Amino acid sequence: MATIDLTKETFKDTIEADGIVLVDYWAQWCGPCRQFAPTFQEVSDNHEDIVFAKVDTEAEPEIAAAVNIQSIPTLMVFRDGILVFAQPGALPKEALEDLISQARKLDMDDVRAQVAAEEAGRAQS
C-alpha cells in the first residue's frame, strides 16, 4: 500500500481508525529520515491491510507538538485508535516487520483494560 501524508485535517481520523496505523514523523533535512523512507515504503508494500502514514514535521508542526515529537525520525504505531508503540530512530526492515508482527498479536481487550486502569489511576491522583 502506498504511504499517505497526514495533515492536521486528516491526522485524528486516520489514527483513530480501526486496524493498525504506522506513522513516520520526519523532515526533509533529516538524513536518518531520508534513509528510513525507502524501508518504510518497502514494508508498506507487504502489508495491504495496514495504513502507513507520514507526517512532515516541518509542514505540520501542530501535529508534531500535539504528539510530543522530540526527535526524528520517530515511529508510532496505533491499533484501533490506541497508541501501542512510539520510538525515535530509524528501524531496519527486519525490526519493522517484527514490530508489525507484534502489533498484530496484541490482545486489544487487554490493552484497552490497561489503558482504562491507567486513566482511572490518573483520575484518582
- Catalytic positions: 30, 33
pLDDT for 4-56, tens place per residue?
Answer: 999 999 999 999 999 999 999 999 999 999 999 999 999 999 999 999 999 99
Render the burial of 20-50: b for 16+ CB within 10 Å, e for the rest.
Answer: bbbbbbbbeebeebeebbebbeebbeebeeb
Per the CB < 8 A criterion, the answer to whether 62 and 28 are in contact is no
Taking the C-alpha atoms of residue 124 and residue 96, their distance in angstroms, rounded to an integer, is: 37
CATH number of the domain encompassing residue 77: 3.40.30.10
Cα 99 to its chain centre, rounded Å, is 11
Q: What is the number of structural domains in the chain?
A: 1
pTM given for the model:
0.93
Residue 1 makes CB contacts below 8 A (sequence gap 6+) with 44, 45, 47, 48, 50, 51, 52
User: Residue 2: what pLDDT?
Assistant: 74
| pLDDT category of residue 1 using cuts at 50, 70 and 90 | low
3-class secondary structure per residue, 61-85: HHHHHHCCCCCCCEEEEEECCEEEE
pLDDT for 89-98, tens place per residue?
Answer: 999 999 999 9
Residue 7 Cα distances to 36, 59, 70, 90, 113, angstroms: 20, 8, 19, 22, 30
Taking the C-alpha atoms of residue 113 and residue 123, their distance in angstroms, rounded to an integer, is: 15
Range of the domain at 55: 4-124
